[in-house]
Chain A
Amino acid sequence: MRDRRGEPRAPGGDPDEAGLRPVVAALLRYGVLASAVAMLVGLLMLLIQVGPGAFVSMPRIRAPEATDLTSLRAVLRDLLPPEPEAVMEAGVLMLIATPVVTVGASAVAFALERDWLYVVLSGSVFAVLILGFVLGRSIALRGG
C-alpha cells in the first residue's frame, strides 16, 4: 500500500519506512558503539601509560592550547604507533561521521524504495553536511 503521490495511506500503515528504519537504527547503533570502544581504549591506554594520576587531573586543560589533531591525516599519523589521545580522537571522529553516514545511507534507502522526493531531501541534507565540513576547514584555516 505504498503511496508516492499523496494518496491516503492504508489506515494504520506505517508510512513506508519499513526498509529505512532498521538501516538507520543499525548505523547509528554501531557507529556509536565503535566510537565508544575507541574512546574507552584510548582512556585505558592513558591509564596504563600515565597511571591513575591522569584521571585526577583530567580534563587538565587550563592552559588554552588547541589540540594539534585537526585533520584526518594528523589523527592517522598519531595512530602509528597509537597515542592515547589520537585513539580517543579517532573515536570522536567516528562519532561525528555517524550522522553524516546515516543521512547518506537513508538517501540510498529511499532510492531503493523509489521515493524520489525523499531521495532529493535526504540527498540535500547530505550535501549540506559535506559542504559544512569543506566550509568548516576553510573557515578554520582562515583563522575565523
Chain B
Amino acid sequence: MFFAVFLVSVVAGIGGAILGLGGGIIIVPVLTLLLGIPIRFAIGASIVAVIATSGASASAYIRDRLTNLRIGIALEVVTTLGALLGAVIAGRVSPRWLYVIFGLLLAYSAIALLGRLKIELPGEVPYDPLARRLGFSGEYYDQALGRRVPYTATGVIPAAAMMIVAGISSGLLGIGSGLFKVLAMDVGMRLPMKVSTSTSNFMVGVTAAASAGVYFSRGDIHPAIAAPIALGVLAGARAGTRMMEHMRNTTIRKLFIPVLAIVAASMILRGLSVR
C-alpha cells in the first residue's frame, strides 16, 4: 500500500513538473477511488502534494531562468484573490454547475490548443501596453532548440480574467488551478509553452498555500497520508524538471492536450451526474 501510494506520487510529480500542474488531478482520484481514503484527507494530501511539486520544480526552473517571476507574482494577485473567493463561497453555491461550466471552458480550450499544436515559439505578438508597464518580457535558453529565446507577453487582461477562474477553481473544487494557468499564459498571453508551464509551476504552490490554512485547521492534512505522498512527489518532480528542459515546446503541448481533455470530460461528467 505504502509503495503503491509512493509510486503514484512519483508519477504525479513527473507529470506535474513537465506540464506546469500540481498533480492533484492524479492524487485525488487515486486516493479516493483506488485506496478508499475519505475525500477530505485526499484533498488535504493533494494540497500538500501541489506545494511539494511546485517547490521542487520551480526552484530548478527559476535557477534556469525558465520561470518568469514578475509574471508569476503579478498574476498571483488575482489568482490568490480568486482562491480566497472560491473558499469563501464554497458551501454556499452548489459546485455542480461550476464543474460543468469549468469543464466546458477546458474542453473549449483543448480545441483552441489543437490549432496551436505545431507552433514551437510564438514569434512576434501584438503590442500590449499593460504587458510593457508590468515588465512582462524576458529571455530563456532553450536546451531543445539550442538557442536563446526572447519573448514578450500580450493580452494581459484576458489572461488575468482566466487567472481569477483558475483561483476560484482551485479554492472551490480543489483542482484545475494549473490547467487554467498554463492556458492563460499560452493561449492568452502567448508566451513560449515552457515559460507558461514553468511559471505555472511556481504559481500553483502559492495558490495552494492560500487555501492550505483551511485544510490544516480542519485536521484534513493527515501526516500519515500527506508525508509519503509529498516525498514521492518531490522525487518525481526532480526527475520531471530534467526531462522537461530537454523537451520541445510542441512536445509539451502534445502531452498537455490529452490531460486537458480528460480533466474536462471528468469535470463535465461529475457536474452532470446525479448525486
Residues of A bordering B, CB below 8 Å: 3, 6, 9, 11-12, 14-17, 20-22, 24-26, 28-29, 31-32, 35-36, 39-40, 42-43, 55-62, 64, 66-71, 85-86, 88-89, 91-93, 95-96, 98-100, 102-103, 106, 117-118, 121-122, 124-125, 128-129, 131-137, 139-141, 144
**Residues in A neighbouring B88, C-beta threshold 8 A:** 135, 139
The residue of chain A having its C-beta at the shortest distance from the C-beta of B130 within the complex is A6
Q: Is the CB of A57 within 8 A of B1?
A: yes
| Distance, CA A144 to CA B234, complexed state (A) | 31
Chain A residue contacts of B110, Cβ below 8 A: none
The dominant DSSP class at the B interface is helix
**Nearest-CB distance from A9 to chain B (Å)?**
7
A59 touches B87 (CB 8 A): no
A71 to B221, CA, bound (A): 11
Roughly how many angstroms separate A59 CA and B135 CA in the complex, as a whole number?
46
B114 proximity list for chain A (CB < 8 A):
none
* 11 more CB-based (< 8 A) A-B contacts, given A15-B135, A61-B37, A136-B217: A61-B41, A99-B206, A118-B70, A118-B74, A125-B73, A128-B81, A132-B211, A136-B212, A137-B213, A137-B217, A139-B214
B6 smallest CB distance to A (angstroms): 10
Does more than half of chain A's interface fall in helix, strand or loop, or is it mixed? helix
Which residues 55-73 in B have Cβ within 8 Å of A in the complex?
Answer: 55-56, 58-60, 62-63, 65, 69-70, 73
